[in-house]
Amino acid sequence: MADHVADAQSLADALPDGVVVVDAEQRVRLVSATAARMLGGGERLVGRDAAEVLRLQDQEGRDWWACTRPFAGLSTITGIPEQSWLLPDGTEVLVAARVLRERPGGPVTGLTIALRSGRGRARLDRERSDLVATVAHELRSPLTGVKGFVQAMLNRWDKLSDEQKKLMLTTVSADSDRLSRLIAELLDVARIDTGRLQLYPRPCDAVVLVRRVVESVAAGTAREIDLDLPAGVGEIEVLADPDKLTQVVTNLVENAVRHGEGQVVVALGVAPDVEPPCATITVTDEGEGIPAELRRRVFTKFWKGGARGGSGLGLYIVGGLVKAHGGTVEIDDAPGGGARITVGWPLMGEDDL
């Protein structure tokens, strides 16, 4: 019998969550090491009344044992769902219980309680708060511009010249595009997170798509953006959803413009010797670069490399879209300083025709 108890204790101690086992007399029979650290008392908890050991309260000071009444509830109850409770020191724990019966509807013969740290939930809450704060901040700026210019036109329409009206409407249109793009980014993040991203791949010329992105971004910035194409190559045919490939390149180039310095170079190439063969899209800048210890964090949500704004979602979406196409993305240092991000994109193969 002692060997069985020792084995049970060893198994319970190996679990990541705390475990407390209560017998039919409502006495504690087993406490895992994790649960002992949470509840305090260690081996002294074994044999004591469960209501005394499980000193858990909610935000209003109500006791877990008194509220759940695991031995006095309905005979059909087989478990107590996970809920948030507080330890005596105020630490949050997530508590769930399994009610044991020898037969359905019979008396309670035991109770197994699981105690899980609330830190994971707190981290999730912080991530949600970060999302709300980020979205609110990013939405507020263009919305303020839209509202301000529209209000100005409504109040001073007869006094404004045609050029002034055109400038205001152009600004409103640009801010509206910014809002639409942020909403699209959030939808993409949700689809990537849930595995519901829809792709419509087909043969595409990467040269045409990348050139369009470079020309579009260059038109809206004073920074120099150059396109470097391999000599003698008229087209580079890849298998891609053209909208998603365009989004990837746009995010990379705009990220280099926003967070880098100097000239931005977008280079296309072909790596036929890798398996599978792929096209390469490399974006470099002349800024400070990205430290090696931070490169794993670049493609996580809300990562920002500086204080120049942005939603912090662009590179996360890049990583998700490239991975969904079966490609690769790497970060290293540019030869002359700055960051270099290289995307490997599957080439169009005979099997894809």
Torsion of CA 180, 183, 187, 190, to 10 degrees: 160
pLDDT at 345: 92
**pTM, to two decimals:** 0.60
What gap in Å lies between CA 245 and CA 209, rounded to an integer?
8
Give me the domains of the chain, ranges plus CATH numbers: 2-117 (3.30.450.20), 122-194 (1.10.287.130), 202-352 (3.30.565.10)
Q: Are 49 and 21 in contact (CB under 8 A)?
A: no
pLDDT at 108: 92
pLDDT at 291: 79
3-state secondary structure 287-346: CCCCCHHHCCCCCCCCCCCCCCCCCCCHHHHHHHHHHHCCCEEEEEECCCCCEEEEEEEE
The one-digit pLDDT tens for each residue of the chain (353 residues) are 556 667 788 888 888 888 999 999 999 999 998 888 888 866 688 989 999 999 898 878 889 999 999 998 788 888 999 888 888 888 888 899 999 999 888 899 999 999 988 776 666 666 667 667 767 777 787 888 888 889 989 998 988 899 998 998 988 888 888 788 788 888 888 888 888 888 898 999 999 999 999 998 888 888 899 999 887 777 889 999 999 999 999 989 988 888 888 889 999 988 877 777 889 999 999 878 887 777 777 887 766 665 555 667 788 888 899 999 999 999 888 877 788 999 999 887 655 54
Sign of the CA dihedral running 291, 292, 294, 300: positive
Partners of 226 in the β-ladder: 265
